[in-house]
Amino acid sequence: MRYSIEGTPMPVVICELNSGETMITEKGAMAWMSPNMKMETVGGGIGKMFGRAFSGEAMFQNRYTAEGDGMIAFASSMPGEIRAFEIAPGKDMICQKSAFLASTSDVELSIFVNKKVTSGLFGGEGFIMQRLSGNGVAFVELDGYIKEYDLQAGQSMVIDTGYLAAMEPTVNIEIQTVAGIKNKLFGGEGFFNTVLTGPGKIWIQSMPVSSLAGSLIPFLPGRG
Flag whether pLDDT at 187 surpasses 60.
no
Report pLDDT for 144.
Answer: 92
Residue 163 CA to residue 183 CA, distance in Å, equals: 20
Predicted confidence band of residue 28 (pLDDT cuts 50, 70, 90): confident
User: Sign of the C-alpha dihedral, residues 200, 82, 194, 55?
Assistant: negative
Q: Shortest CA distance to 18 belongs to which of 28, 31, 3?
A: 3
Report pLDDT for 221.
Answer: 80
Question: How do residues 151-160 score in pLDDT, each as one tens digit?
Answer: 999 999 999 8
Report the mean per-residue pLDDT for the chain: 83
Flag whether pLDDT at 45 surpasses 50.
no
CATH H superfamily, domain 2-215: Mitochondrial biogenesis AIM24 (3.60.160.10)
Q: Are 13 and 3 in contact (CB under 8 A)?
A: yes
Report pLDDT for 213.
Answer: 58
Q: What's the predicted TM-score (pTM) here? A: 0.82
Report pLDDT for 181.
Answer: 54
Question: How do residues 87-143 score in pLDDT, each as one tens digit?
Answer: 999 999 999 988 999 999 999 988 887 665 444 444 444 467 899 999 999 999 999
- How many Å is the maximal CA-CA distance in the chain? 64
Sequence spans of domains, the chain: 2-215
Report pLDDT for 176.
Answer: 79
Q: Are 147 and 157 in contact (CB under 8 A)?
A: no
